[in-house]
Amino acid sequence: MSAAPHIPVLLDEVVAALSPRPGMTIVDATFGAGGYTTALLDAGASVHAFDRDPDAVAAGQALVARYDGRLALHPARFSAMRQELAAIGVAQVDAVVMDIGVSSMQLDQGDRGFAFMHDGPLDMRMSQDGESAADFLNTADEAAIADVLYLYGEERQSRRVARAIVAARPLATTGELARVVRRALGHKPHDKKDPATRTFQAVRIHINDELGELEAGLAAAEALLVPGGVLAVVSFHSLEDRIVKQFLRTASGAGRSVSRHLPGEIPGPAPTFAQVSKAIRPSEAEIARNPRARSSTLRHAVRTAAPLRSLAA
């Protein structure tokens, strides 16, 4: 793993929201370097942690041994946490925390191909299997690449970048991709943000189905949480936060009303979440300690006793 380990973002705020204590069973859906998990274990809770990255799972075995039975580390996508836990007889948990997106270890390891700061193979696979970024960019048609860049990177000039990528194929390294994007968009050394950033974000999200995973993970958390259980989600860009915000808005019944002029109108299912927090962002002090915290947002809510909306519908 990287010598610069992942620093858990908004850790104090997450712990305050979850209120871990002995006897609680908590899911850390995104184990990473174990920052949240360690804090939860130190508070006396038992943790089921998930990570699809084999490197994270291997590095986490020392933590499993240290806490002697209170940590179970599952090498699986968090979208599958309900099925994984059911297979070992765990039907419900007291809290779920999710830290969405790429970890610092993945970004800092050049051979994982997630970032252009370190030239490496054009990979970007969190699970280290399946289609790589190079596979996608070297075989997809121009329109498909442009769609990914526009949808997941919010790249306004997605067609121009996609055209440049196709013209430069085959691409093998992160450095090659970054240079192609910079030439297509124009890049000055004093620019605040490298123009390749949006393309790298978009391709990574696509390769790992990150938004689909988030939607499935939120649904799994809704099914797993006991009444009074807490869901806490940390996101890092607007696409993720929008999904979390809309999920909690819908699940809590916010904005839904039944007209008194339509007495036959059937009300929707009972809210499955309540006490939805406002967006919580890091302090200036935390950003100074950990610049990667700058774009993070925490939202949390409490599970009600209502049945799953899919069952109530």
Q: Each residue of 78-126: pLDDT tens digit?
A: 999 999 999 999 999 999 999 997 766 666 666 676 777 788 999 999 9
pLDDT over 70, % of the chain = 90
| Tokens 């919580």 sit on residue | 280
Q: Please, what is the Cα angle at 238 between 232 and 241, to 5 degrees?
A: 20
Determine how many CB atoms are found less than 10 A away from the CB of residue 305.
9
- How is 109-174 classified by DSSP, letter by letter? -GGG---SSS--BS---SSS-S--HHHHHHHS-HHHHHHHHHHHH--TTHHHHHHHHHHH----BH
Please tell me the distance from the alpha carbon of residue 223 to that of residue 207, in angstroms, as a whole number. Answer: 27
pTM of the model: 0.91
d(CA 95, CA 5): 25
What pLDDT does residue 187 have? 77
Q: What percent of the chain has pLDDT over 90?
A: 79
Angle formed at CA 102 by CA 201 and CA 161, multiple of 5 degrees: 10
DSSP annotation of 220: H
CB-based contacts of 302, cutoff 8 Å, min separation 6: 228, 229, 230, 231, 273, 274, 275
Residues 172-184: tens digit of each pLDDT: 999 999 999 999 9
